[in-house]
Structure 1
Amino acid sequence: MREEYLLAALRMGAGADPVPEGVSASARAVFGLRVPGGVPAGPVDVSVPPGARSSSEAGAAPAGLRRFSADGLVIDVETTVADGHLEVAGQVSPAPGQDARIEVRTPHIAKVRVPSGSGHFAVAGLPPGWVSVVCHRPGHPPVFTRWIHARP
């Protein structure tokens, strides 16, 4: 850390300088990305059965596949970047039922899909970068994944 940054941080901590507007704006933007009343789904290790398509390690899941679990749900999320756009496909297990919806969010836009009867969903045309998936079910709090960084 350079000395000037350390001194600036100390001044800010002491209350001598106002917080720079860029820092305040970023903090407000991050606050807007939260899911009030939601349940965070934690990451779960994913393995595939022998003989299934996988990465270079035997039994390892494909590189873009991540699994999360909370509140009785498992959310599988697979990300790919193709032609400069992010594609997200996944499945919620058990299937979330009628009137459920899946929200695929980036820091800039969100797209909502109705999952299939088996809980599958897909979204294409998102900007590459950070993405999170939220499962909304009537009568239950939303379950959301942590932010995943998807890059080419």
Structure 2
Amino acid sequence: MTRRPAALDDESLIAALRLAAGRDPVPVHVQGAARAAFGLRLPDAATALPVATPVPLGVRSAEEARLLRFSAAEVTVELEVASVDGLVDLAGQVSPPPEGGTTVEVRTPHLTQSREVSATGQFAVTGLPPGWFSVVCRRPEHPPVVTSWTRIRP
């Protein structure tokens, strides 16, 4: 009696070929995270890139607070980052001082906190989870300015 191999259906054949090629399908949660990240883009915004910030005189350690500066399209966003009880606090300033109605959004992959900027350009957001964040500055009658994504560790 001659033994014939069992017939493979299309899905099993494709799965066997993927395994043989060393390629597994992308997990569903990874696909979802990629779609969510793509949704955070702002195609019409100017990207504010990091600018080196000198350590202020008299500062002994940068562990207490970290200073970050981003610049683009004649706008500078300065941030002071502090960790409190495993969460992140941001105090920021937009320069030059913006006109009324200017807002900032501090974005993480999972939440967005919006604040109106004071007349001197200051804003603050507290209790953010550590990880990736970006700041969007929205000025009336100007395109938004968005900082590059930066990772904060507590």
1:108 to 95, 110, 113: 110
After superposition, where does 1:4-83 map in structure 2 within 5 Å?
7-8=22-23, 19-48=26-55, 51-53=57-59, 55=61, 64-83=66-85
Instruction: For residue 19 of structure 1, report the CA deviation from its aligned partner.
Output: 4.2
Instruction: For residue 46 of structure 1, report the CA deviation from its aligned partner.
Output: 1.0
RMSD over aligned Cα, in angstroms? 2.1
Query: Structure 1: which amino acid aligns with 2:22?
Result: L
Instruction: For residue 63 of structure 1, report the CA deviation from its aligned partner.
Output: 5.8
Count residues with an aligned counterpart. Answer: 134
Query: Structure 2: which amino acid aligns with 1:25?
Result: G
Gaps of 5+ in 2: 1-18
CA distance in 1, matches of 2:124, 2:102: 14
TM, length-normalised to structure 2: 0.77
Q: Check the 8 A contact 1:80/1:150 in 2, yes or no.
A: no
Compared with structure 1, are the counterparts of its residues 43 and 54 closer, same or farther at alpha carbon in structure 2 (3 Å cutoff)? farther
Gaps of 5+ in 1: 10-17, 57-61
Aligned to 1:59: none
Bigger Rg over Cα:
2
Compared with structure 1, are the counterparts of its residues 87 and 63 closer, same or farther at alpha carbon in structure 2 (3 Å cutoff)? closer
Q: Check the 8 A contact 1:66/1:77 in 2, yes or no.
A: yes
TM, length-normalised to structure 1: 0.78
Q: Does 1:135 align with 2:137?
A: yes
Compared with structure 1, are the counterparts of its residues 90 and 54 closer, same or farther at alpha carbon in structure 2 (3 Å cutoff)? farther
Compared with structure 1, are the counterparts of its residues 138 and 113 closer, same or farther at alpha carbon in structure 2 (3 Å cutoff)? same
Instruction: For residue 134 of structure 1, report the CA deviation from its aligned partner.
Output: 0.7
Aligned to 1:146: 148
Q: Secondary structure at the match of 2:23?
A: helix
CA distance in 1, matches of 2:128, 2:65: 19
**Over residues 72-100 of structure 1, what are the superposed CA-to-partner deviations in whole Å (9 max), with x where a residue is unaligned?**
01111121220122111111110121010
Aligned to 1:14: none
After superposition, where does 1:82-121 map in structure 2 within 5 Å?
82-121=84-123
Aligned to 1:124: 126
Compared with structure 1, are the counterparts of its residues 83 and 20 closer, same or farther at alpha carbon in structure 2 (3 Å cutoff)? closer
CA distance in 1, matches of 2:80, 2:26: 38
Q: Check the 8 A contact 1:81/1:150 in 2, yes or no.
A: no
Aligned to 2:7: none
